[in-house]
Amino acid sequence: MIPAGEGGSTVRAEVIDRRKRVGDLAVRFLSAYGVFIAIGVLFAVFSVLIPGFFSMTNITNILRAISITTVIAIGVTMGLCANAFNLAVAAVAGLASALAAGLMVWNLAPAPLAILFPLIVGGLVGSLIAFFVIRFRIDDLLASLPMMFIAQGVELTYTGGLNIYSNMLKPAPGGGYITAPGAISQSFLRLGQGYVAFVPTPVIVMLAAILVSHLFLNNTKWGRHLYATGGNMEAARLAGIPVHLYRVLAHVLTGAFAAMGGVMLTARMASAQSMAAHGLLLDCIAASFIGYAVLGAGKPNIIGTFTGAVLMGIMVNGLTMLNIPYTAQDIFKGLILLGALGISRIAARR
């Protein structure tokens, strides 16, 4: 090959170079700290505008409010590491929520079983999605859509569209009502309503989930392999990694964490409210994607996901205290997500 001719005006190139470098710096700064800056600004503005916003109670409130979202979003994030995008998480959470309540109220199950069984069901739903993805080569996202409907349908069939609570009443087939024999146990409720020292239990659960999943993704070989599978499946396979196994693992984890969120929801409300989990879907996914833009990661990561959840939690809390109707809050969530996606996109292209 013949080397290319050097040519053109070097002076102009330098000017463009400098301009590019300044732009680069700005992009790098935004992609690293953009979300933190947004959190800081929101926090400052709300603290000034709202008396009582900057208080221990309110901060605890915010953390408790985002705990369930974060746990589900952690599952979404772990799935995304292997490109296993799952839209059924909220439906799985709903199903798990109903199962947890139903097991205790109707089947007199002890609390540990009422927690464990829904988690297993969540994992199974995930592995089913993985089966369709791998066996029939359906897109992860597309394969999760039918499972969303199915999980939702199973939930509604199981509950009959009713809320499940302690000693609930259910219409009997022959007329009249049946009273449920069981109640949601106190030890179970502690998962959603209790405190450890001054910290609400769900916040402890969330922090534990963050710690474990962060270590799992960043410090174990499985985490590496998950990222490799999502980063470039062909290259990962050619490096000897059993990529299909990791795709299954990703979906199972997503399903199990979604179910955990559902169980926490039941513990929080002391009942399983029909369709209560479904509003969480977009928040969880948004938190995961905002996470891409945290510290310039450019890929799914747990710290980012938590930061994303915090950002949205602060916003919702502040807007609510400002009496901005809940119906309008989604507009702001959309704008934040848009900004985060833009930042991570530009950062990735650089």
Number of other residues whose CB lies within 10 A of the CB of residue 286: 24
Provide the minimum distance between the beta carbon of 228 and another protein in the complex, in angstroms, as a whole number: 6
Query: Does residue 21 bind another protein (CB under 8 A)?
Result: no
Q: Does 2 bind another protein (CB under 8 A)?
A: yes
The only residue of 35, 99, 226, 241 in contact with another protein, by rule CB under 8 A: 241
> Is 232 a residue that touches another protein (CB under 8 A)?
yes
If one asks whether residue 56 binds another protein (CB under 8 A), the answer comes out as no
Place of tokens 């964490």: 257
Closest separation between CB of residue 236 and another protein, Å?
A: 7
**236 counts as binding another protein under rule CB under 8 A:** yes
Among candidate residues 347, 330, 217, the one with its CA nearest the CA of residue 280: 330
- Minimum CB–partner distance for residue 338 and another protein (Å): 23
Residues forming beta bridges with residue 170, ordered by sequence position: 178
DSSP 26-70: HHHHHHHHHHHHHHHHHHHHHHHHSTTSSSHHHHHHHHHHHHHHH
Residue 201 CA to residue 157 CA, distance in Å, equals: 31
Exposure string of 162-188, with b = 16+ CB inside 10 Å and e = fewer, is bebbeebeeeeeeeeeeebebbbbeeb
Applying CB under 8 A, the span of 3-11, 128-136, 150-158, 264-272 interacting with another protein comes to: 3-11
Closer residue to another protein, CB minimum distance, 40 or 231: 231
Residues 291-350 that bind another protein (CB under 8 A): 298-299
- The correct pick among 100, 214, 217, 225 for binding another protein (CB under 8 A) is 225
Is the Cβ of residue 237 or residue 345 nearer to another protein in the bound state? Answer: 237
Determine, following the binding rule CB under 8 A, whether residue 153 of this chain makes contact with another protein: no
The CA distance from 228 to 82, in Å, is 7
Residues counted in the chain? 350
Residues that bind another protein (CB under 8 A): 1-5, 215, 219-222, 224-225, 227-228, 231-232, 234-242, 298-299
